[in-house]
Structure 1
Amino acid sequence: MSTVILFTGGARSGKSARAEHYAARLHRPVTYLATAEARDDEMRERIAHHQQRRPATWTTCEQPLEVATALANVAPGTVVVLDCLALLVSNVLLANEAAPDQAVTAEISAILEATHAHDLTLIVVTNEVGMGIVPDYPLGRVYRDLLGRANQQVAAAATDVYLVVCGIAVELKALEVAWARPIE
């Protein structure tokens, strides 16, 4: 049975480490889908840090776009860590500036469909960008809105959603269930 788990939080909140720890606890084969591209020294350093932290037994696949295609090649029952949705949305936006809404929605839908079709456990890492300042340039506002909608799309499909703050993960779906109860 397929499962989707979402880890969200701010930059350097510890969400990737928490997602990796969650994946390791499942004691199954893990494929790490990395969406970052090493375009400068700082990003190369970040990528190297992430790589050093991962177990050598995990398979890593660099996949800046078309993540669903990569998921179709993963063995059923595998745990897949997608790190990170925020970079994937940025990549899709920049590759489809004429119609980014449709492209991002289609990408997320394809990822979720592939997860279910191949019986995977998908652990998604993403940034929460809705708590900060409104970007002062149009492309930044488009990106923030696209990522917010993509996060909601994945969260709706997820069995568990964790908000990571200061390295501490708080499970949000349980809070939502309690909040959604009717007032008596």
Structure 2
Amino acid sequence: MAIILITGGARSGKSLRAENRARSFPGRPVYVATAEALDTEMAERIARHRARRGNDWIERETPLDLAQALIDTDGGGARLVDCLTLWLSNLLHAGLAWSKQTDGLVETLARQRSPVILVTNEVGLGIVPDNALARTFRDAAGLINQQIAGVADEVEFIVSGLPMKLK
């Protein structure tokens, strides 16, 4: 079993790297999608991701209950969670306690038998946002990333499509 966290900036190549890592494990990979197609642009992004992956994936759409999705899909191929920052956004918009949800995710990761690859955005490298919600999001994303990195067996930072091993 392996817990792998892949982080980096927007459009850095995180998802492609994570897909390749997930395919390297035995069994049919499971794509755990946290995104929701709430507008045309997001629907197009999702369609591009699906087309790139092809049909060899089992797909699981999970905007909120990520821990349960991992429990339900354990015991088969590697699971790719794409992505933690969209999951956080969903939690904040739903008014759910992101820190409690993250604690549950960490506890669930510790009990997994099949590999889990988690994608997340590094959002703390830019300027301080100018509004409270954006600052809350940035701070929460940083704390979630630290928690998951702490329990991960491997952590990679992707820059311009190139992985840098951090752990």
TM-score by length of 2: 0.94
Identify the residue that residue 143 of structure 1 maps to in structure 2. Answer: 137
Any idea what the Cα deviations from partners look like across 1:3-60, whole Å, max 9, x if unmatched? 2100101100000000001111123221111000111111111111111111312101
Shift of 1:105: 2.1
Runs of 5+ unmatched residues, structure 1: 174-184
2: CA distance, partners of 1:121 / 1:26: 8
Task: Note the alpha carbon deviations across 1:101-126, whole angstroms, 9 max, x for none.
Answer: xx222222222322332412110000
Per-residue CA distance 1:57-81 (angstroms, 9 max, x = gap): 2101110001111112114143110
Matched, 1:121 2:122: no
The aligned residue for residue 78 of structure 2 is: 79
1:48-59 superposed matches below 5 A: 48-59=47-58
Q: TM-score, normalised by structure 1?
A: 0.86
Matched, 1:132 2:126: yes
Gaps of 5+ in 2: none
Corresponding position: 1:22 with 2:21:
yes
CA root-mean-square deviation: 1.3
Instruction: Write out the 4+ residue segments of structure 1 that deviate beyond 6 Å after TM superposition.
Output: none
CA contact under 8 A between 1:34 and 1:84: conserved in structure 2? yes
In structure 2, the residue matched to 1:42 is: 41
* Count of residues in Structure 1 that have an aligned counterpart in Structure 2: 167
Contact 2:30 2:57 in 1 (8 A): yes
How far apart in 2 are the matches of 1:157 and 1:23? 18
CA distance in 2, matches of 1:37, 1:62: 8
Contact 1:34 1:62 in 2 (8 A): yes
Q: Which residue in 2 is equivalent to 1:8? A: 7
AA in 2 matched with 1:58: W
Contact 2:34/2:64 (CA < 8 Å) preserved in 1? Answer: yes
Q: Aligned partners of 1:16, 1:146: CA distance in 2, in Å?
A: 21
Structure 1 counterpart SS, 2:37 = coil
Match of 1:163 in 2: 157
